[in-house]
A and B are shown apart, each in its own frame.
Chain A
């Protein structure tokens, strides 16, 4: 990850059994010191890393080595070594991240010694905890009303429990028995043997990236991403091929074109906001303020890495979280592998969806639901939901173009477009009065995120597997 310096300490040598799970070691390394080989491999992965290694006991290591470290990570294999390291960290006032595994279980413990100056706990929560502790200590004579109130609450709670026993639980138990009688044949197949599918969570897939690019090309770039998309097209026109983002000089040429587009965008926005006739009445400082604001709105000049990030539609990613998620995936795959082969080393996770938040170190299991109207696993057949992005001045004909870009080639002579709510017909190839591709969507009062329905007619009705497209239209 590019940390300035790593210090590796280990007294062990590599054994064959380490090779299946300690990813830095390979066959042939057996017998060599772990610290040395790990340093070698990390250096191969990132030659810029500064790594020291020590093939000796942690207890024998010079205190100056600990002193040099900001954080101590403990990945030990016995209690005594952990206890000794703990002692050293407390003495040296070094935060320690302790970790270990046994079978399928693992733990991580953060140890922050007194005097490190690291603010760890939340002041508000700590005050609440102290208040809670103090409340346990107060006496009846000190706060008699507090005690009276507590007794009243206890009586109310007893009364609630009595009502539940007399009037709620009998009904709950009766319904429970009814469900138990039919559960095996009525509910078990749906509840026990399957989970919601991926499409249940994504009923309307996001619009295809190509649609956004197509919109950008139809109009002038309106943000810094548009400028790069436009630059890619200009590059292709100029050099007769798309830029190869692995070649530095091509990325630089692309960046040059994108920069010109960005400057044109800034200029256009300046001219729109400060018309030439108004400019004479503004001071030099006011004009500079406008330019500064526009610069801040559309961001600074491009950086090299932005080209690939924008064109590749890259999103932020960090290896640590990837490792955690891929590890959970591997774990689930392993359990399922046993299960499909009639063996059991543990059930698949239930609920079947876990969210991990690396910032808070928190795993949340989400109780996801199977959708009856799911287009992949539900009861609805012959429908598809599509989201399209269209330019502000798009016309009815563009809906067919956008559907084609989204991967659904529909013959406009055989499909009808209607409003599912009002039943208004926007396009009917059999009626000349409703067959004008130039009619603007805005003139039909279609707003962003409105839904239109595309239905097949004639030959398409017989041939198309999909009998209804529910199309969400988003203006860009």
Chain B
């Protein structure tokens, strides 16, 4: 059971995505994705 206010807010924020089959919010919380280049999406 979540106790801290911050955890409750997070639980509410991520409520919908947790309805997806196989979703595990902990994996997202612990995950790391690096994005190289921001915004332009240029080809050349």
Contact = CB atoms under 8 A, between A and B. Distances in A.
Interface of A: 15-17, 19-21, 27, 103-104, 206, 313, 315, 317, 322, 325-326, 333-334, 337-338, 341, 343-346
A343 B27 contact: yes
B35 to A, nearest CB: 8
Nearest to A333: B33
A13 to B, nearest CB: 14
Interface residues of B, number: 24
B9 to A, nearest CB: 6
A69 to B, nearest CB: 30
A284 B19 CA distance: 78
B13 interface: yes
A337 B29 CA distance: 11
Contact of B41 (A17, A27, A326, A338): A326
Given A206-B44, A317-B40, A345-B21, A17 B27 contact: no
Contact of B20 (A103, A313, A326): A103
Interface of B: 9, 12-17, 19-24, 27-28, 30-31, 33, 39-44
Contacts of B24: 338, 343
Contact of A325 (B14, B15, B19, B41): B41
Contacts of B14: 17, 20
B41 A337 contact: no
Contacts of A334: 28
A342 B33 CA distance: 16
Contact of B42 (A19, A317, A333): A317
Contact of A20 (B17, B23, B27, B33): B17
Given A315-B42, A325-B41, A337-B33, A17 B16 contact: yes
A19 B13 contact: yes
